[in-house]
């Protein structure tokens, strides 16, 4: 802390001498000036915390001097020496100079020392408050800076997480497609069947106005609907002739086998029932399997997939026949609407075929589920 100094201003030399004598043993530097202009010169060179000025002086009055000091050094503690009778001067001094105390002449020595001590304390306290305010401001700025950095970091991390999430999602879909291809590879005549069922089913799901999450589930379930065929003997699956009763029973197990394959995979648990019931008949009749569920008891993705599966199978070439024309496919859908098929699913499928024509069943169409969901 800077050395404490007080400046006394009085045109009477005796007063200045008396003050110097009085404060000789105090730990303060005592400066003196006999005129206002001299006082201002001293203050330009020597920092003092307290000024005590007489009022009546030639050239510049005490009130004018204290006002000038207030403008130049606002933190300085200003006091005025006045006679008892100069009340009007006291009021003016307070109003214009914002002075700390009035000291009346003649003064009491001990009171004057105590007042000066308080004045220095007052100055020190205000400086300390200023210093603390400054520290608070600086820390606030630092904090704002750190917050900005933190926000930036959070944004970067969020972006990285989103990218990782997207990578995982792509890997997830690729894995499922690989599994679907493994199923289709058992029979050279069904190459691409599962993928196309997934595509047709997704389009139908969107036409039904289903939410994106459900459309995606329909797509994945479409890819995996026949995953259970992995557990059925190849010669049964690829047999070009009519199946025997036993062979047909074996084929009929594929939905249950599919459900069992998906069972241990936690992130595919939503799909288990969709796969298990993709051969149920809408009317609950016994041609449906494995549970002979009926109507709304059959999961909606399964009802959609059954229609998509039929459209894909009928319109594709088989060793014993060419793919059927769209008219025949549409007739089949009409014929079994309400018995094998959910009429709503038939309606949306027919609407799509009418709208898209042959393009709906084109074999080489590229499909990206994420791009599809964005539209």
User: What secondary structure letter does DSSP report for 149?
Assistant: H
Q: What is the β-pairing status of strands 29-33 and 5-9? A: parallel
What dihedral do alpha carbons 11, 13, 16, 17 form, nearest 10°? 180
| CA distance readout (Å), 148 to 153, 155, 177 | 9, 11, 43
Nearer to Fe ion, 10 or 226 (CB): 226
The greatest distance separating any two alpha carbons of the chain, rounded to the nearest whole angstrom, comes to 136
Question: From the candidates 229, 239, 322, 335, which is the catalytic residue?
Answer: 229
The torsion region of residue 295 among left (phi > 0), alpha (psi -120 to 50) and beta comes to left
Ramachandran angles phi, psi of 191, nearest 5°: -60, 125
Nearer to Fe ion, 214 or 251 (CB): 251
Ramachandran angles phi, psi of 46, nearest 5°: -120, 120
| CA distance readout (Å), 66 to 56, 101, 103, 197 | 12, 12, 14, 94
Closest approach of Fe ion to the CB of residue 300, in Å: 17
Closest approach of Fe ion to the CB of residue 225, in Å: 6
User: What secondary structure letter does DSSP report for 324?
Assistant: P
Residue the block writes with tokens 């109507």: 295
Q: How far apart are CA 223 and CA 340, in angstroms?
A: 21
229 as an active site residue: the answer is yes
Closest approach of Fe ion to the CB of residue 208, in Å: 21
Residues near Fe ion (CB under 5 A): 226
Closest approach of Fe ion to the CB of residue 221, in Å: 11
Nearer to Fe ion, 202 or 310 (CB): 310
Nearer to Fe ion, 226 or 273 (CB): 226
Q: What is the DSSP string of 218-252?
A: HHHHHHHTTGGGGGS-HHHHS--SPPPHHHHHHHT
Nearer to Fe ion, 216 or 226 (CB): 226
Structure tokens at 50: 């307290």
Q: How far apart are CA 321 and CA 333, in angstroms?
A: 19
Closest approach of Fe ion to the CB of residue 278, in Å: 6
Structure tokens at 24: 């000789």
Structure tokens at 17: 């001498």
Nearer to Fe ion, 217 or 279 (CB): 279
Nearer to Fe ion, 78 or 254 (CB): 254
- With CB atoms as reference, the residue minimizing the distance to Fe ion is 226
Closest approach of Fe ion to the CB of residue 255, in Å: 7
Q: How far apart are CA 263 and CA 82, in angstroms?
A: 100
Closest approach of Fe ion to the CB of residue 159, in Å: 41
Nearer to Fe ion, 33 or 224 (CB): 224
- For residue 151, the Cα-to-chain-centroid distance in whole angstroms is 9
Ramachandran angles phi, psi of 174, nearest 5°: -60, -40
Give the catalytic positions in this structure.
229
């Amino acid at each position: 802390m800077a050395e404490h100094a007080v400046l006394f201003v009085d045109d009477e030399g005796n007063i200045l001498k008396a003050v110097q004598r009085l404060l000789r043993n105090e730990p303060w530097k005592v400066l003196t000036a006999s005129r206002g202009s001299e006082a201002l010169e001293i203050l330009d060179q020597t920092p003092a915390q307290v000024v005590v000025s007489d009022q009546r002086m030639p050239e510049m009055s005490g009130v004018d001097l204290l006002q000038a000091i207030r403008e130049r050094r606002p933190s300085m503690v200003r006091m005025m020496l006045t006679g008892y009778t100069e009340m009007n001067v006291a009021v003016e001094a307070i109003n214009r100079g914002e002075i700390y105390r009035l000291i009346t002449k003649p003064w009491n020595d001990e009171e004057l020392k105590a007042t000066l001590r308080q004045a220095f304390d007052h100055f020190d306290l205000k400086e300390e408050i200023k210093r603390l305010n400054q520290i608070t401001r600086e820390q606030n700025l630092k904090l704002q800076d750190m917050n900005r950095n933190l926000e930036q970091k959070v944004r970067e991390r969020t972006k990285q997480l989103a990218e990782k999430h997207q990578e995982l999602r792509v890997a997830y879909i690729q894995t499922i497609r690989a599994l679907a291809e493994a199923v289709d590879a058992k029979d050279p005549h069904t190459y691409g069947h599962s993928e196309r069922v997934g595509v047709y089913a997704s389009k139908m799901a969107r036409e039904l106005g289903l939410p994106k999450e459900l459309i995606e589930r329909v797509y994945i379930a479409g890819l995996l609907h026949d995953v259970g065929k992995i557990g059925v003997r190849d010669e049964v699956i690829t047999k070009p002739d009519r199946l025997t009763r036993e062979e047909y029973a074996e084929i009929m197990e594929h939905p249950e086998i599919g459900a069992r394959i998906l069972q241990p995979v936690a992130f595919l648990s939503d799909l288990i029932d969709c796969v298990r019931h993709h051969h149920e008949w809408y009317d609950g009749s016994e041609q449906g399997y494995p549970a002979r569920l009926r109507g709304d008891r059959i999961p909606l993705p399964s009802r959609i997939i059954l229609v998509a599966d039929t459209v894909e199978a009928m319109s594709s070439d088989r060793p014993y026949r060419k793919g059927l024309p769209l008219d025949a496919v549409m007739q089949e859908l009409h014929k079994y609407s309400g018995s094998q098929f959910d009429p709503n699913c038939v309606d949306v499928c027919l609407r799509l075929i009418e709208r898209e024509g042959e393009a709906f069943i084109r074999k080489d169409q590229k499909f990206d589920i994420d791009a599809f969901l964005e539209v």
